[in-house]
Amino acid sequence: MTASAVRLELKDLHGSLSDPLLDSMNFLNEIVSRHREAISFAPGRPYDGLLDPAVIADYLTAYVDHLRDHAGYSPDQIRVQLMQYGPAGGIIRDLLARTVTNDENIHAPADAFVVTVGAQEGMLLVLRALCAGSTDALLAPSPCYVGISGAARLFDIPVVSVPESDLGMEADAVVGAARAARRRGLRPRALYIVPDFANPSGVSLTTEARRALLAAAADEDLLILEDNPYGLFRADDGPCPPTLKALDDAGRVIYLGSLAKTGFPGARIGYVIADQRVCDSAGRFTLLADELTKIKSMTTVNTSPISQAVVGGLLVRHDCRIRAASKAAVEFYRANLRRMLDALDRHFPAGQGFRWNRPEGGFFVVMTVPFEADEDALERSARQHQVLWTPMRHFFTGGGGARQLRLSCSAVPPGLVDEGVRRLAAFAVAES
Ligand SMILES: Cc1ncc(COP(=O)(O)O)c(C=O)c1O
């Protein structure tokens, strides 16, 4: 095949395509693929060893059995459910609704759910629906998960950074950022937040901080987009603080769920809980979820029913209790995080300007170092020391994080954590 004679100019394509933000994932994937022998603290993906392909057939069977034996489906109905185009809202909404009630004490009707292609699609649907004009803005923490800042960039939605402290996102900072944005002519619509073991900072909010954020959102008339892929992965047996959605009695929180870390990412199943009421010009009400399904019908049409069926089977098999179903994963990540923190204590010399936080769970630790932790440093780390990490600057849209790196404990085989941290310390000392 010959190369096309048509030449496109990047400058004529959508501005997001020239934005380094959208390149950051490619850059990391590229460096990881060039250094496959390295020990990698870079990716925030689940540990391969927790994934067993045998469950796919088992879960599919469990879901079909459930349809036949509990929902009373005929063989024809089962065929259509699994193999035809399906409703844009999804086919496992009732199971998801029961699951979040059991696990998170969230009470929302099944028709307030939209089953999405990962939480990522949920972000796109919600941003598209909420931001109508060019001044409608999203408030987001700095540092921030690139999935949401990238999604906003695709729609040309301005992102207003709310600086995160060691305690996470604080209500005063949200109020300050919302008011400053209004003075600049923007209309802040929503606040994006990962309240548990955030990506990238690892920080979690106390229950009081969550209540304060809900109050600030009410004062500033903001919706809250709560993204919660890591909430179950607490490092100790202490109680998990309630989700913002569970605390919300005013309907301000739109909840983004993901089965990527508690099920498996290849299923690409996430969901949005959008139980807010939307009123049209004739005074008729719908749910925000109904509006999101209109957008979804023009993007992915519906989330693969096969994937939904597999995840549906996972839920059925575990009596709609994903917390109980994830026990082995919780134990694994808990032990690996502890292993990584212990190894940092052991291998990094004191008094040389190395600092790191001690998250109470999740996948991520942020380390501050006395040198520029940029792409060139990462390349040297990979080539000379065979260890990978993520430069924190990828997560700051307005600059920042130059001397910080994100370490993820999730994908590293337990037996390699100590050696990886030893290599990291050798690299960091050599750079300092
Ligand atoms: C904060 C956060 N939200 C959402 C996601 C993505 O979820 P999904 O795979 O369901 O699209 C991730 C994945 O790394 C994440 O870290």
* pLDDT score for 2: 67
Tell me if 158 sits within 8 A of 135, measured CB to CB.
Answer: yes
Q: Is 194 in the pocket of ligand 1 (CB under 6 A)?
A: yes
Reference 367, options 421, 288, 316; nearest CA is 421
Per DSSP (E only), the strands in 157-313 are 159-163, 187-193, 223-227, 253-258, 269-273, 277-279, 285-287
* pLDDT score for 21: 87
The backbone torsions φ and ψ at residue 225, rounded to the nearest 5 degrees and listed phi first, read -100, 105
Q: Is 118 in the pocket of ligand 1 (CB under 6 A)?
A: yes
Tell me if 344 sits within 8 A of 382, measured CB to CB.
Answer: no
Tell me if 222 sits within 8 A of 189, measured CB to CB.
Answer: yes
Q: Is 122 in the pocket of ligand 1 (CB under 6 A)?
A: no
**CB burial string 1-15: b at 16+ within 10 A, e below:** eeeeeeeeeeeeeee
* pLDDT score for 266: 96
Q: Is 258 in the pocket of ligand 1 (CB under 6 A)?
A: yes
Separation between Cα atoms, residue 139 and residue 305, nearest integer Å: 33
Stated as kind and residue range, the H or E segment containing 127 is helix 118-130
Q: Is 270 in the pocket of ligand 1 (CB under 6 A)?
A: yes
From atom 1 of ligand 1, which residue's Cα is the shortest distance away? 199
Tell me if 95 sits within 8 A of 320, measured CB to CB.
Answer: yes
Q: Is 231 in the pocket of ligand 1 (CB under 6 A)?
A: no
| Cβ-based neighbour number of residue 285 at 10 Å | 9
From atom 14 of ligand 1, which residue's Cα is the shortest distance away? 44
Reference 261, options 306, 194, 326, 201; nearest CA is 326
Reference 364, options 145, 153, 180, 212; nearest CA is 145
Q: Tell whether the torsion through CA atoms of 194, 392, 361 and 215 is positive or negative.
A: negative
Separation between Cα atoms, residue 248 and residue 207, nearest integer Å: 12
Separation between Cα atoms, residue 192 and residue 159, nearest integer Å: 10
**Contacts for 208 with CB less than 8 Å, ≥ 6 apart:** none
Distance from Cα 153 to the centre of ligand 1, integer Å: 17
pLDDT along the chain (432 residues), means of 10: 85 94 83 91 95 97 98 98 98 98 97 98 98 98 96 98 94 98 98 97 97 98 97 91 97 97 96 98 98 98 98 98 95 98 97 96 98 95 97 91 97 98 98 95
Closest atom, ligand 1, to C-alpha of 227: 3
* pLDDT score for 1: 58
Distance from Cα 260 to the centre of ligand 1, integer Å: 7
Reference 245, options 214, 218, 289; nearest CA is 214
Tell me if 326 sits within 8 A of 229, measured CB to CB.
Answer: no
Distance from Cα 121 to the centre of ligand 1, integer Å: 10
* pLDDT score for 62: 98
- What's the predicted TM-score (pTM) here? 0.96
Separation between Cα atoms, residue 391 and residue 159, nearest integer Å: 21
Closest atom, ligand 1, to C-alpha of 117: 11
From atom 10 of ligand 1, which residue's Cα is the shortest distance away? 118
Separation between Cα atoms, residue 389 and residue 94, nearest integer Å: 40
105: its two tokens: 């004490």
* pLDDT score for 346: 97
* pLDDT score for 246: 98
Query: Of the residues 114, 120, 225, which should be mutated to test ligand 1's pocket, given the most ligand atoms within 8 Å of the CB?
Result: 120
- Half-sphere CA count of 141, side-chain side, radius 13 A: 30
Q: Is 196 in the pocket of ligand 1 (CB under 6 A)?
A: no
* pLDDT score for 242: 97
From atom 12 of ligand 1, which residue's Cα is the shortest distance away? 229
